[in-house]
Structure 1
């Protein structure tokens, strides 16, 4: 199967009032920059990069530049040493200057890389999670770029980690029967009224969700504390409640407001300050303990994740396969995270379509803890094979590929 051409699409979607809002992104327009790898068969590989409307066209233009070298490549040959291909794309001199490894170019890389993995799984007629599990540790590591991680994770160490977890796979395959547990973010979007978040909490609990998330970061911290208390009162003491500030606070504000939010016993406090501020997160994590910090949805690459892990600046890793350089870098960061004892709970910038595959592999193949996966259903109707959640559990996808095909 050979790639013969590239098609790029700019897809933007209108959301209902208040949906998707947070303290920083108040009027989001959920959008995708889409890379479609056309082949000499009827099969097309589809890769997504998630955006918020304006600027999606810039990511699409970068996809055009980055994907040119893939035309003419045969799939099995391409993926047999994809780590090398990946590094050549990400380190192409003119494009690297624009990052390095962040911003518009890196988002475009995610779409291209995700399309490659989608096409590979489709060519083998298996869902992405099974493709990854079917690979030997050596074959999987061949798809990764471990550069700049050598002092903490070498190729041999990565292979050894994966090999060590092979014997326990059968015990962890129970997740294929139960599905992967989800948590509901849609109960508490920032612009929702108090009445709406109470009503949404009741509906979520009725649908089986016992883990819920609230957007915080109001100009008046009392609003955040009040709304968190409303959800706690409705959901009960046994519910798992997370709060997400979406980078709104500076460090002094975060320390003050996290102390106030402690009364609702949050499972984690997410993105409490600027996503590039490693030391700021470290300060917050140390000061608010035993409360825990989750972050990663805006951390753009493996090197910065490495620094966060080394600084013990996060308790939960929220790496996103449509924010970093696609599935390849997601798996690299998952290995690194596992080696440093940090659980991976992805941010679902793709609405769960790709990540439902990746958390299955992380759990079965790497022995990452089965915690939960964020559930945001607002684009479900636009996918050919949307993620299915039943009684708060993601059902295991069975269709070949990464579940990324969008309806025309």
Structure 2
């Protein structure tokens, strides 16, 4: 039974230039941390990610949601979590502050993720193991499919889960083999050209086969120059992604993305405003076969549904510390599986939670395990930091979701 609740505002200043992009020049990586403590002494930890200012507002909202779970047994709670999620996300007064976006949605992510962590710890297994061992019906019971009925009814979702049971045993080999990471830290926006070049060499020496550069400069020539530096150092066999963090208007994006095609980007990420689905559709059509990636700032499954319906994205970057947590992440993954669009999570969690979800996506749902973003800046703050060796993510074996922090 959930006996006590703690919500903490945790903020971690970064080294100079680290974490910077075209919009967010001076981030403070921060978590609204929710701890659910049960009567056996276990603590479920979940969080949402912010860049500093406003983190306290997310904490206050998380406190509101978490209080409603006090006295509940975690097994009983998770056996019908889809309905619990629906009730929390549609609380009649709090819903007005979203709905299903912004501070309230981030808070729901923190609480939801704490539930999944406690559930896995209660069963004494890593989260990925808990998830892949659930039957299709048990998994479906954790999901809220409301507003998706036109694309994914409960019956269709259940059948999709059942269909992907085939090949599950073979795909489980990934537990031992691991899967690639991609290095985002080579090309933060505020880094000099020389530092970008140096970081590329270092990443390749460490075994990375994919990396990402931040673009969106006031002078497009800077983006073009830096993208070619990365391609020059990486060579043609390495996947290079470009990330504009929503900086461009559609006319700007059409122009600059056309020029960036010459360096053969694997994807162009968040080229314009994340709510402008039709702009992404126009851009995707204009720059094909180069594909767009998005999801870092897409707040819920309904918007993801629209992106998939319009064919606007070649890669979906759902983030379980941005949308409503693990439950909604799995729901989005199901939608993507229906459309055969790869899920490559954004890692506001620094990969701690998502390393479990990549394994689940691949083993239980048949998604390709392409790679997972790697950002090492907060590793020292986690009890069980992610392990990436030779550019490859190693499977976590400790019970839970790897989200416990070394904070008091």
Q: TM-score range by the shorter chain?
A: over 0.9
Q: How does 1:300-311 map to 2 (within 5 A)?
A: 300-311=299-310
SS of residue matched to 2:4: strand
The CA distance in 2 between the partners of 1:141 and 1:401, in whole Å, is 20
Deviations 1:317-356 (A, max 9, x none): 0000000000000000000111012110000111000000
Q: Does the Cα contact within 8 Å between 2:180 and 2:209 map onto a contact in 1? A: no
Q: How does 1:275-290 map to 2 (within 5 A)?
A: 275-290=274-289
1:137 corresponding residue in structure 2: 136
1:19 aligns with 2:2: no
2:78 corresponding residue in structure 1: 79
2:179 corresponding residue in structure 1: 180
SS of residue matched to 2:13: coil
The CA distance in 2 between the partners of 1:239 and 1:181, in whole Å, is 12
The CA distance in 2 between the partners of 1:281 and 1:209, in whole Å, is 29
1:38 corresponding residue in structure 2: 37
Q: Does the Cα contact within 8 Å between 1:35 and 1:115 map onto a contact in 2? A: yes
1:374 corresponding residue in structure 2: 373
1:214 corresponding residue in structure 2: 213
Gaps of 5+ in 1: none
2:193 corresponding residue in structure 1: 194
Deviations 1:3-51 (A, max 9, x none): 0111000000010000000000000000000000011112100001001
Q: Does the Cα contact within 8 Å between 1:36 and 1:46 map onto a contact in 2? A: yes
The CA distance in 2 between the partners of 1:23 and 1:405, in whole Å, is 31
1:53 corresponding residue in structure 2: 52
Q: How does 1:250-329 map to 2 (within 5 A)?
A: 250-329=249-328
SS of residue matched to 2:155: helix
The CA distance in 1 between the partners of 2:358 and 2:179, in whole Å, is 8
SS of residue matched to 1:187: strand
The CA distance in 2 between the partners of 1:370 and 1:117, in whole Å, is 22
The CA distance in 2 between the partners of 1:22 and 1:204, in whole Å, is 19
Q: Does the Cα contact within 8 Å between 2:383 and 2:404 map onto a contact in 1? A: yes
Deviations 1:36-87 (A, max 9, x none): 0011112100001001011000000001111111000011111100000110
1:228 aligns with 2:241: no
1:171 Cα deviation from its structure 2 partner: 1.4
1:387 aligns with 2:386: yes
SS of residue matched to 1:13: strand
2:158 corresponding residue in structure 1: 159
Q: How does 1:110-121 map to 2 (within 5 A)?
A: 110-121=109-120
Paired positions, count:
407
1:167 Cα deviation from its structure 2 partner: 2.2
1:8 corresponding residue in structure 2: 7
SS of residue matched to 1:30: strand
Q: How does 1:100-111 map to 2 (within 5 A)?
A: 100-111=99-110
1:159 Cα deviation from its structure 2 partner: 1.1
1:351 corresponding residue in structure 2: 350
SS of residue matched to 1:370: coil
SS of residue matched to 1:109: helix
The CA distance in 1 between the partners of 2:112 and 2:65, in whole Å, is 10
SS of residue matched to 1:11: strand
SS of residue matched to 1:70: coil
1:290 Cα deviation from its structure 2 partner: 0.7
Deviations 1:264-300 (A, max 9, x none): 1000000000000000000100111011100011000
2:397 corresponding residue in structure 1: 398
What is the root-mean-square deviation of aligned Cα atoms in Å? Answer: 0.6
SS of residue matched to 2:312: coil
Q: Does the Cα contact within 8 Å between 1:180 and 1:396 map onto a contact in 2? A: no
The CA distance in 1 between the partners of 2:60 and 2:31, in whole Å, is 13
Deviations 1:227-252 (A, max 9, x none): 01001111111111000000000001
The CA distance in 1 between the partners of 2:62 and 2:175, in whole Å, is 34
SS of residue matched to 2:181: strand
Please identify runs of 4+ aligned residues in structure 1 that moved more than 6 A: none
